[in-house]
């Protein structure tokens, strides 16, 4: 892979992230390492505080020794890649049909009122938000992703509390706001597993993500 950007002011993978990058590349057959591009863009975005500049997108292309347009195509296609600065807490609000039918419009109102227009960043640099397509957790709609975690079964009042807590540097609870452990039915009589069995499955669940 290309070693580029020796200039201190230009973006370069940190030594810690280079280990993650090399680990991702090893997951692909020889000659097919460019398939790791999404992982590399994701690592670069994390290192850059949550967004990708054109220079960084090009850096990833140089790193993989591919034309710039190939990494540009991917970075501009997926909503997981942000092409302008985001807040410390970036909200991705699902507005697709199941979430919309379960009240995402009221969540949108709260985000617009408390944060402002989509893709803008609050003056204190704490918050930004965008509307995205299905986050794949429709069973617990409506859903918002904040940074790496999902917040599910949300009512607008839950979202108001989440925003206030983050603003006051307090911790927030991820997962369901209707006391679901996972995606089991809320109605006890419909459950095929006991609470204990569900708890056991949750305990052994691995959190997704990139690790060395
Ligand atoms: S529709 Fe919102 S998570 Fe699928």
Buried b (16+ CB within 10 A) or exposed e, 124-136: eeebbbebbeebe
Q: Indicate the class that CATH gives domain 15-77.
A: mainly alpha
The finding on whether 98 has its CB within 6 A of some atom of ligand 1 is: yes
The secondary element (H helix, E strand) that includes residue 152 is: strand 149-152
Q: How many helices (H) and strands (E) does the chain have?
A: 8, 5
> What pLDDT does 3 receive?
56
pLDDT digits (tens, 9 = 90+) for 114-150: 999 999 999 999 999 999 999 999 999 999 999 999 9
pLDDT digits (tens, 9 = 90+) for 144-182: 999 999 999 999 999 999 999 999 999 999 999 999 988
pTM confidence score: 0.88
Substitution candidate for ligand 1 out of 143, 145, 176, 183 with most atoms within 8 A of CB: 143
In the predicted model, is pLDDT for residue 201 greater than 90? Answer: no
Nearest-angstrom CA–CA distance, 174 and 35: 31
Angle between helices 68-77 and 54-64 (to 10 degrees): 130
Pairing of strands 89-94, 127-132: parallel
Substitution candidate for ligand 1 out of 91, 93, 95, 96 with most atoms within 8 A of CB: 96
Nearest-angstrom CA–CA distance, 107 and 28: 40
> What pLDDT does 209 receive?
79
Confidence of residue 66 (pLDDT cuts 50, 70, 90): very high
Residues of the chain with CATH 1.10.10: 15-77
Residues of the chain with CATH 3.40.30.10: 89-187
Domain 89-187 indexed as CATH 3.40.30.10 = yes
Instruction: Supply the mean pLDDT for the chain.
Output: 93
């Amino acid at each position: 892979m290309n070693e580029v950007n020796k200039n201190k002011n230009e973006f370069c993978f940190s030594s810690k992230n280079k280990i993650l990058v090399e680990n991702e590349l090893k997951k692909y057959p020889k000659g097919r390492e460019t398939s790791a591009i999404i992982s590399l863009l994701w690592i670069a975005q994390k290192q850059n505080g949550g967004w990708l500049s054109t220079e960084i997108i090009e850096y990833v292309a140089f790193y993989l020794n591919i034309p710039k347009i190939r990494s540009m195509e991917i970075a501009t296609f997926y909503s997981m890649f942000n092409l302008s600065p985001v807040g410390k807490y970036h909200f991705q609000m699902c507005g697709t049909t199941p979430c919309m039918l379960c009240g995402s419009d009221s969540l949108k109102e709260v985000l617009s009122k408390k944060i402002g227009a989509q893709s803008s960043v609050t003056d204190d640099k704490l918050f930004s938000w965008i509307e995205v397509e299905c986050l794949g957790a429709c069973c617990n709609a409506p859903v918002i992703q904040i940074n790496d975690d999902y917040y599910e079964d949300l009512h607008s009042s839950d979202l108001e509390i989440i925003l206030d807590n983050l603003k006051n540097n307090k911790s927030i609870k991820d997962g369901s706001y209707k006391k679901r452990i996972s995606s089991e039915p809320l109605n006890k009589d419909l459950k095929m597993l006991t609470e204990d069995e569900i708890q056991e499955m949750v305990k052994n669940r691995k959190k997704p993500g990139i690790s060395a």
